[in-house]
Amino acid sequence: MMATRRSRNYRGEQAENRRLLWLRIWTVLTLVLGFNYVGWRWLASINWSAWWIAVPLVLAETYSIIDLTLFSITIWRSRQRGEAPPPPPDATVDVFITTYNEPPNLVLNTVRAAIAIDYPHQTWVLDDGDRDELRAEVEKLGVGYITRGDEWHGKPRHAKAGNLNNALMQTHGEFILILDADMVADPTILDRTLGFFADEKLCLVQTPQHFINVPRSDPLGSQAPLFYGPIQEGKDGWGAAFFCGSNAVLRRDALMDLGITGYVAATERTVVNRLRETRGLVRRTIRKSDAAAAPILIKTRDAIDHALAEIGRGEPIAEVTYELQRSVHQLSHATVGSDLAQLAEDLDELGFDQSAFNIDYDEVISQLASIELSPLNAVEAVERTLRAIDIGRSDEAQAILPMATISVTEDMATAMRMHARGWKSVYYNETLAEGLAPEGLAPSLTQRLRWAQGTMQVFFRENPLTLRGLTLPQRLMYLSTMWSYLSGFATVVYLIAPILFLTAGVLPVNSYAAPFFLRFIPFMVANQLLFVFASRGLPTWRGQQYTLALFPVWIKACYTAAANVWAGRPLGFAVTPKANTQSTRIQWGLIGWQLAASIALVISIVVGTIWLVVGHAEPIGTLINLAWVIFDLVSMSALVGAVRYRGFQETEETP
């Protein structure tokens, strides 16, 4: 039997290698055709008389070619993992079930499935809603219950990341299985994944997310077969499979390593920024001070420069700041003595008998320090700044924050940081937990907006192209996910260009003659077939529709994330409703921008057809743009079924 299994595995591996070889050949062909087309567009076909639409169009096409290139690089090393080795016999595992406001019955269903997991473990419910009724039911089942303590009052909560960080500080398992409140785990989930952790540098095993309440037609595009298939497998091949928030096992040591290094880095940033601020203060005072004050101020500046250099060389921050505080304190005393000695001389010259006066020297020093150009003022400001340096993160509930808190999607940011620290990850493509997708367009849009916003927050805060520690392929794998959310801007151009041609005769391309067809059509055919080959027959058309149809969501995600990162505007965090909360009224307002675009597309079809019939339009260009508009409308039509969808019915067939 063992020999038969090995033979079957060998044949499967050989077949997969052949498939990958042909996929790579087709990928190269598609990219050659694509770059040939875009190169021709830039060099020979831009209609400069209508540059205001011609240039945006060729830029949008260039964006799409880059997107295709990143996708091609991803699938180039698509990797299908075999079974993991047997799990270790004595590993300790915590199962975290995260919840905020989901119905208790839904959470308890997940809890019961978690209790039934075969491998020995401890189950914990992480209730960010702090609900007494849920606590009581959970404790009846013999499961741990964790919620936030008083230390979180008045401090940033960091949504799900904060919930997980709070639990990490109260548990001790070597490995952590994270499940969303609706994700019902298979009893074998730990047996099927823990064996991968025989590699001591492995930090993460991610498995797919599959939803049981999605009909075969998938009107909301909830299932993501392309992402949880070829894309994650491709990222895995490049060592960049990332955490998706649920259905994943993580190594505690990797998370704590991230938390400690993050704490050290945050402390260093705080100290360095404060030292630079005080150095600027001293430098400004030096420029305004007299000859007598300058030497002390220069020594203070030099002490700060030396401290910054020491930190830059990696010296311990505590030692550096202690030595700097000691040096500045000595300079402060020297300055006070100098000022008091000068004061005594001035009083003697005026004939005052100082012994006859009860001089309040503290008040005198205070007055001296208030003089704008006094060196004591600058040196004392340095002392105050050094004393105020916060190395305990008093603005946070916890000093150590293992899960990344820079984004509302903590999963990607955490995985990227772990990869930058040299940890490895695995994507194991076997469904080992099943959950519930949003059952209406409104919660689905809320969920996708949050994903996109979080991804763009990471892009703006910790761009993978500049994050130290990542390999080049890892940088590209993370960039490809972030890059895809810029598609909304390109889509706007793709919608406007054919409308302008059909209604106003504005031609962004010099001509639609043979040179265009010979480049464009082979590329488009190859591009569509590439997705068919890469997906191994999985249904991906719905995903392609939503990529175009949700352009307002992607655009909103980009500008709101930018406003949050650069202007501090809050994003908020909305938990995706799992229960069916659909209104009986069709909410057309949810797709207002798409409806407006669709109406404009229909009008352009009517106008373009009339111009063609009466002979006032260029036939080939009109037919191309009519086909283009029809494609856009077909893509947008997915939202009609989505907005009318009333939720999953038990009688419906699921994939």
CA 354, CA 347: separation in Å to the nearest integer? 7
Q: Kindly state the average pLDDT of the residues 63-87.
A: 95
Decide if pLDDT at 477 tops 60. yes
Which tokens go with 117?
Answer: 């997991």
- At 131 the pLDDT is 96
Question: Do residues 176 and 155 touch, judged by C-beta distance below 8 A?
Answer: no
| Beta strands 248-251 and 175-180, pairing class | antiparallel
- Tokens linked to 406: 């820079």
**Which range has the worst mean pLDDT, 124-133, 323-332, 614-623?**
323-332
The per-residue pLDDT for 345 is: 62
**Position 382 pLDDT exceeds 50:** yes
Domains of the chain from N-terminus onward: 19-76+482-644 (no CATH), 93-251+411-438 (3.90.550.10), 261-388 (no CATH)
Token duo for residue 544: 């392609």
Does an H or E element contain 244, and which?
none
Neighbours of 649 (CB within 10 A): 8
Task: Say whether 251 sits in a helix, a strand or coil.
Answer: strand
pLDDT at 375 over 80: no
* Residue pair 421/468 in contact by the 8 Å Cβ criterion: no
pLDDT of residue 285: 79
Tell me the average pLDDT of the chain. 88
* More confident position, 580 or 514: 514
Q: Which of 582 and 445 is assigned the larger pLDDT?
A: 445
The confidence score (pLDDT) of residue 369 equals: 44
Whether the CB-CB separation of 188 and 626 falls below 8 Å is answered with no
**How large a percentage of the chain has pLDDT more than 90?**
65
Of 198, 179, 177, 207, nearest to 92 by C-alpha is 177
**Higher local confidence (pLDDT), 394 or 366:** 394
What pLDDT was estimated at residue 272? 86
* Residue 421 predicted with pLDDT over 50: yes
- Tens digit of pLDDT for each residue in 158-177? 999 999 999 999 999 999 99
**pLDDT the model gives residue 152:** 96
Q: Where are the beta strands (DSSP E) in 287-440?
A: 424-427, 433-435
Is the CB of residue 40 less than 8 Å from the CB of residue 517?
no
Q: How far apart are the first and last CA of the chain?
A: 32
Could you give the percent of the chain with pLDDT greater than 70? 85
Phi first, then psi, for residue 226 (nearest 5°) are -70, -45
**Burial state string for 291-321 with b = 16 or more CB within 10 A and e = fewer than 16:** eebeebbebbbebbeebbebbeeeeebeebb
Tell me how far the alpha carbon of residue 397 is from its chain's centroid.
22
Residue 640 · residue 598 · CB < 8 Å? no
Decide: helix, strand or coil at residue 77: coil
Give φ, ψ of 506 to 5 degrees: -75, 120
Query: How many whole angstroms separate alpha carbon 167 and alpha carbon 147?
Result: 8
Distance CA 487, CA 495 (A): 12
Report the C-alpha gap between 270 and 267 in whole angstroms: 5
Q: Which amino acid is at 199?
A: D
The per-residue pLDDT for 8 is 47
Reported residue count of the chain is 655
**Matching residue, tokens 């002490």:** 303
Tokens linked to 374: 């006094």
Query: Of 22-31, 381-390, 635-644, which gets the smallest average pLDDT?
Result: 381-390
Closest CA to 220 of 507, 452, 550, 566: 550
**358: pLDDT strictly greater than 70:** no
Pairwise CA distance, residues 93 & 303, whole Å = 50
CA angle (67, 70, 75) in 5-degree steps = 125
> Looking at the predicted structure, is the pLDDT value of residue 344 above 80?
no
Q: Which residue has the higher pLDDT, 285 or 132?
A: 132
Query: For residues 373, 377, 381 and 387, what is the CA-based torsion angle, rounded to 10 degrees?
Result: 170
Q: Is the pLDDT of residue 362 over 80?
A: no
Read off φ and ψ for residue 519, nearest 5 degrees.
Answer: -100, -45
Q: Where is average pLDDT lowest: 385-394, 491-500, 583-592?
A: 385-394
Q: What residue type is 271 in one-letter code? A: V
How confident is the model over 13-55, as pLDDT tens digits?
777 888 899 999 999 999 999 999 999 999 999 999 999 999 9
What is the tens place of the pLDDT at every residue in 256-315? 999 999 888 888 888 888 888 888 888 887 887 767 667 777 888 898 899 899 988 888
Structure tokens at 449: 């907006």
Residue 563: CA count within 13 A, CB half-sphere: 10
E strand or H helix at 533: helix 514-534
Sheet holding 175-180, edge to edge: 144-146, 122-127, 93-99, 175-180, 248-251, 202-206, 424-427
pLDDT band at 372 (very low <50, low <70, confident <90, very high): very low
The answer to whether 27 and 530 have CB atoms below 8 angstroms apart is yes
* DSSP class of 591: G
pLDDT at 315: 87
Contact 126, 98 (CB under 8 A): yes
